[in-house]
Chain A
């Protein structure tokens, strides 16, 4: 049986950041998955961008399903400069989990992004599912995870590649 689920890179920095990059992603996989365990100085959402399409880009959109223990909401943003992937918590010793899947990331279609976010705080917090679209047909070779204006802590963030064979 061939190995079809492989770690490509892991960030394990103990310092703070507002952007985290994975560069030179090989095009030898079918899909990729990011598993991120993170904490921040404030409770807020964070985002993903690709191939250094940064602040001037408007080629991203996101649809969000969000629940906080009392209510369920759905929101959408269009023509923005990043895809919302989840919530980062801000309590000592407690981290949020964000799982991001991108299928066919090296293909020639626009890229759909599926995200799971788990951020329970035993009395507060949120659970989210989001779907995003990057309206660009280029193969993805760079990922930027960013938390605008915040200091976040990595513990860890891993990029996996998944092969169909």
Chain B
């Protein structure tokens, strides 16, 4: 039985970056999974947003719906017709405890199929403080193009050095 959950590529940042690009994604898998340990450099917030886009398409073709919590309240928000899939409160930010990174998983099924691309995101920015972030997000890219490139965006800021990004491919045969 061949391996069905395989590492495609990874990137651990040695300096800050506002986005991380995975290109030339092979067309040999069924689904894609990102597992991310990250922190951005925005202000004094303890948690922040993360976003991603496909094919470097910066048009208004993305939507997302999420439920999010910060330790005191839960809420739901939606973005429609924006330039990336936005997942609020899904990583650590500059005000988090030192040496603390958030964790984010992004699941993208059927990335080669000629259908709009759905995605699922689960992200957290826990920091042993009064407030921390947790969110689950449903994302959509309203294009039927096969995916060969994905950019992970720092949510309005830059990912700090030490943030790591792992892209896995899953085969269903």
Contacts and interface: CB of A to CB of B under 8 A. Distances in A.
Interface of A: 3, 5-7, 10, 35, 37, 65-72, 93-97, 99, 116-123, 125-127, 129, 155-156, 158, 160
Given A121-B63, A123-B80, A95 B138 contact: no
Interface string B1-37: 1111100000000000000000000000011000000
Given A35-B31, A120-B65, A122-B62, A127 B116 contact: no
A94 B115 contact: yes
A67 B67 contact: yes
Interface residues of B, number: 42
Interface of B: 1-5, 30-31, 62-67, 74-78, 80-81, 107, 109-110, 113-116, 118-120, 122, 136-140, 142, 144, 170-173
A68 B76 CA distance: 7
A129 B170 CA distance: 22
B78 A97 contact: no
Given A120-B138, A122-B63, A6 B1 contact: yes
A120 B110 CA distance: 16
Contacts of A10: 172-173
B81 A123 contact: yes
Which one of B2, B30, B171, B172 has the greatest number of beta carbons of chain A within 10 Å? B172
Chain B binding surface, main DSSP class: strand
A125 B170 CA distance: 26
Contact of B115 (A7, A68, A93, A123): A93
B144 A93 contact: yes
B119 A97 contact: yes
Nearest to B63: A122
A165 to B, nearest CB: 15
A95 B76 contact: no
B67 A155 contact: no
A126 B140 CA distance: 11
Contact of A3 (B4, B81, B170): B4
23 contacts: A7-B4, A10-B173, A37-B118, A68-B78, A69-B77, A69-B78, A95-B116, A97-B138, A99-B120, A116-B120, A116-B122, A118-B138, A120-B118, A121-B140, A122-B80, A122-B140, A122-B142, A123-B80, A125-B63, A127-B65, A127-B76, A156-B30, A156-B110
